[in-house]
Structure 1
Amino acid sequence: MNKLDYCYHTHTYRCGHASGEDEDYVKSAIKIGIKRFGFSDHAMLPGIKQVHSRGDYSLLDDYLASTHHLKEKYKDTIAIKVGLEAEYSERFIDYYKDLLSSKAIDFLILGQHFNFDKSDNPKYIKNFRDDIEELYSYADYLIRGMRSGLFKYVAHPDLFVTMFKKWNKDCEIVSKMICEEAVKNHIPLEINIHAKKYWKDGYERLIYPCEEFWKIAGEYQVEVVAGYDAHHPSEFDNDIDFVFELIEKYQLNHLEDYTI
């Protein structure tokens, strides 16, 4: 039976589209043998309200208090880190740096769900349809994020495929851009476990994890991790065999003993 002993991609109910108590996520992770665990809810951003996408900024203190409490409570059973999944944006660089330098959080992962307009207001990637300009904008934000040194790894780097019905030359170019930058900056890319629920007949867009993307990742020998991206404690019971099938099929450089 395939298993992972780490997971640093875990949400909480505060984001508005996850559920379950914080402690139950920890208990579920322990139950399946996770040894290194990270909370990484969608970053609460000052001045930004995105109901059902991320928690309000007013929830940050409660999130930090709860997760740090669990970090201490379970320290003899599981190594817990407290982090956030965040988008790269010039507007929030100082905010991210302050969170890290103050030790409020241990880490950030780069999950670029949004591009930003000229006023730095977020625009949801999945709302774009066959938009090549926004595809390259996504790549630009992701690359700048990787170069920033703020993020430990890139969550679901192949999220952009949901913009399209069919794989195309631009998808290939962007995939190569992302993988090349990941290698240059020694930053791992994540195979996203949560997204496998979209693997079903009749889904109208391309889906991720996307085999075409991971084939390219194998060619570049980019470092690869996996993330449950759990939105409910029960999701730690999700089947992960497909992750190891991708790793074997494309000879991916999987970091089996990954530690933040």
Structure 2
Amino acid sequence: MKFDLHTHHFRCGHADGTIEDYIQAAIKAELNVIGISDHSPYFANEIDQPQPGIAMAKSAFAGYVEEVLRLKAKYEGTIDVLLGVESDYYPEHIELYKSVYEQYPFDYIIGSIHQTRGVSIFNRNRWKNLSTPVQVEEKQHYYELIAQSARSGAFQVLGHIDAMKGYYPPFSDIAADEAIDSTLSVIAESSTAIEINTSGKTKYVGGWYPSDAILERALFYGVEVTFGSDSHIPSRVGDDWELVRQRLKEIGFKHWVYYKQKKPIVVPL
């Protein structure tokens, strides 16, 4: 059972291709399940699309859902198309986001931290001239937000949980093990999954999110894992799926999961 829960398309403004392009790429890659999960709108902003290069417009959201459901029906019997969304987590707006998502039949929602203290986690300059204690504080804050997102009950999957290393590889060496362990414990208790996201290979850091070290600790705490390519071009659908499967087995995982109608489907490794 081969699946990929994390894909994007043109509506977010920084991905290429239509939803159907990603479905057809999934069929070509011999996937059984493909999840469509473009970036959610900024629902708390009065402007329809305040950041057109980052997330879809509020006015596009209903059409996005309708298109996924139409294609789900079209490809039934060929591939299972799942309705998902990648949602930014903003603590102050989570109830608003939840109220919007409740209106639609999502199979799963990915909760991701893309900003801390109003600055993108991928900002190449955010770490310049910071002392070691401040770096530790920033990393701890990032993981506290991830823990909060797990506690919120809004998500089935947590996206790329060490993606701050994307354009700053030394992030992994900042000492914050207690914060990571505490967050993994919360994630396990919340029954959400973390994704192994292979898009790190497209950033400075290379490789995947999260690191093997975090995955080993996730196994210790009993955290569920899933797979997401985070494709922004159709050719990356399912990218490194078999390599990830083998690595998880080496670490000691026995299964991984995907979500349908917000219920976990367990797939042996």
Which bin holds the TM-score, normalised by the shorter protein? 0.7 to 0.9
Aligned residue runs from structure 1 range 32-111, under 5 A: 32-46=29-43, 47=45, 49-103=50-104, 105-111=106-112
Cα deviation, residue 236, structure 1: 2.0
Letter in 2 for 1:259: Y
Give distance in 2, aligned partners of 1:104 and 1:225.
20
Give distance in 2, aligned partners of 1:207 and 1:76.
31
Change in Cα spacing, 1:211 to 1:30, as seen in structure 2 (3 Å) is same
Deviates more, 1:210-219 or 1:79-88: 210-219
Cα deviation, residue 204, structure 1: 6.9
Question: For 2:182, what is the secondary structure of its paired residue?
Answer: helix
Identity rate, percent: 28
Deviates more, 1:69-78 or 1:20-29: 69-78
CA contact (8 A) 2:88 2:114 kept: yes
Give distance in 2, aligned partners of 1:105 and 1:167.
33
Q: Does 1:197 align with 2:202?
A: yes
Which of 143, 166, 174 is equivalent to 1:139?
A: 143
CA contact (8 A) 2:110 2:156 kept: yes
Deviates more, 1:218-227 or 1:140-149: 218-227
Cα deviation, residue 253, structure 1: 4.8
Cα deviation, residue 155, structure 1: 1.4
What TM-score do you get using the length of structure 2 for normalisation? Answer: 0.80
Give distance in 1, aligned partners of 2:105 and 2:28.
27
Q: Which residue of 2 aligns with 1:30?
A: 27
- Alignment size in residue pairs: 247
Deviates more, 1:125-134 or 1:17-26: 125-134
Change in Cα spacing, 1:208 to 1:170, as seen in structure 2 (3 Å) is same
CA contact (8 A) 2:165 2:205 kept: no
CA contact (8 A) 1:191 1:224 kept: yes
Q: Which residue of 2 aligns with 1:223?
A: 224
Give distance in 2, aligned partners of 1:204 and 1:33.
28
Letter in 2 for 1:181: V
Q: Does 1:124 align with 2:120?
A: yes
List per-residue Cα deviations over 1:101-157 (Å, max 9, x = no partner).
212544311111112x4xxxx421122316333222211221111011110111111
Runs (5+) with no aligned partner, structure 1? none
Question: For 2:37, what is the secondary structure of its paired residue?
Answer: strand
Runs (5+) with no aligned partner, structure 2? 261-269
What TM-score do you get using the length of structure 1 for normalisation? Answer: 0.83
CA contact (8 A) 1:161 1:171 kept: no
Which of 141, 148, 154 is equivalent to 2:152?
A: 148
Give distance in 2, aligned partners of 1:210 and 1:73.
37
Change in Cα spacing, 1:166 to 1:105, as seen in structure 2 (3 Å) is closer
Letter in 1 for 2:159: A
CA contact (8 A) 1:188 1:222 kept: yes
Give distance in 2, aligned partners of 1:252 and 1:145.
24
